[in-house]
Each structure stands twice: as C-alpha cells, then as structure tokens.
A and B are shown apart, each in its own frame.
Chain A
Amino acid sequence: DIQMTQSPSSLSASVGDRVTITCRASQTIDSYLNWLQQKPGQAPKLLIHAASTVQSGVPSRFSGSGSGTEFTLTISSLQLEDFATYYCLQTYSTPEYTFGQGTKLEI
C-alpha cells in the first residue's frame, strides 16, 4: 500500500506569509493527488486535485505542484481564514486511497 508523508506536521506563520506544505508518496502516484483543508468543527474541503488543478471557488492564492512522488501546496499570501489543517490524499491506488497525516497551520 502507498504511504503519504506530509511535512511539516505543524507550522507557525503570520498573515501575509507565503507557506509551502510538502507531501511525499512512497511510490509514484502520477498526478493523483488531492489537497484538502479542514477547519475545526467542519468537514474537509477540496482545494486542489490532479496535483495542480484548483477547485472552483477556491481563492487563487492556493496553488499546487508536483508529480510522481513529491508534491507541494503553496499559499502565496496567508489570510486569517487560511489557518486550518491541510491534508494530502492519494487517489492512485484504487480503490484504497491514503491520506497524509495532516499539517496544522497556526498563527
């Protein structure tokens, strides 16, 4: 089975900062990579799929890149509402997908 390793596990940043979160797969997953955002008490929300396709309605400050085994989520200029936990999810190994362990983004 495919393991997904996110780094860092937590990150302190300030409004206006540029932040990058990394996700590494234990084997190639092509571009089968989703990024999700979860705020406390809420369901996860899809931000990016196919590694770099921004979901409709998601602000343009969010971007994704990578293919194969290494992927990044970048937030170009942090806003207050971006402080949340972020997860990567591989959807390559149908039907058993795997989440990363999450990155908590804090002020």
Chain B
Amino acid sequence: EVQLVQSGAEGKKPGESLRISCKGSGYTFAGYWIIWVRQMPGKGLEWMGRIDPSDSYTNYSPSFQGHVTISADKSINTAYLQWSSLKASDTAMYYCARRVPGPRDYYLDYWGQGSLVTVSS
C-alpha cells in the first residue's frame, strides 16, 4: 500500500528554523517526484515546489523561492521541507504529494496527512 506519512505538528517562534518530513512507503520512492503544497488557515491550496528524489533536482514557485528549501534522502525514502528563519505568515498546513506521470497527463495520486506549522511569539 502506497503511503506518505508526514511529521507531526510544530509550534515555533519567529526567526527559528524548522524541517518537516514526508516519508514514502509501498513504492519505489526515487521513481516519483514529491510535491509540497501550502494551505494557510481557511484558504486554498498553493503549489510550493517539487523534488525528484532520484537526483534531488528541485524547482520552486517564485512565491516560495529563497524562503524554503526542499530536499530528499532517497536512502530512507524521505523528503523534507525546511525554513531557516520562520515568519508568522508561515503558519499553515503543509502537504506532500506524489506526482505520477500518466499516459495523458501528470497527477497527484497520494497525499500525506499534512503537517501543521504554527509560528507565534
């Protein structure tokens, strides 16, 4: 069974660093991109960026470039999203998802359960 299991909720102060994780199981982790998505409280879904775990190549949305870092360790089937200096505006739920290349499109078939990040002084 394919699963993406994310790390738990985090409470941090502005300026602190943080890394959250997304562990894949039940499939060849290096074979599929991992996507990160933000959902601010009461708001919609936002595309943050992606990583190819086979070579750790990344792309970021311009809205998130330079503020977050996406990485992966394929030896332990885990992708990461990290901040070096959190802001209150980073308070959100963060989801990872698996991207599948289909015959006619690409799609996000499995999602993690979400990691809630709260940043408050």
Contact = CB atoms under 8 A, between A and B. Distances in A.
Contacts of B107: 34, 46, 49-50, 91
B16 interface: no
Interface in B22-44: 33, 35, 37, 44
Q: Is the interface of A mostly helix, strand, loop or mixed?
A: loop
B95 interface: yes
Q: Is the interface of B mostly helix, strand, loop or mixed?
A: strand
A12 to B, nearest CB: 19
Interface in A7-59: 30-34, 36, 38, 43-46, 49-51, 53, 55
Interface of B: 33, 35, 37, 44-47, 49-50, 59, 61, 95, 97, 99, 102-109, 111-114
Given A44-B45, A44-B111, A99-B46, 16 more contacts: A31-B105, A32-B104, A34-B105, A43-B95, A43-B111, A43-B114, A44-B97, A49-B102, A50-B102, A50-B103, A53-B104, A91-B106, A91-B108, A95-B49, A97-B47, A99-B47
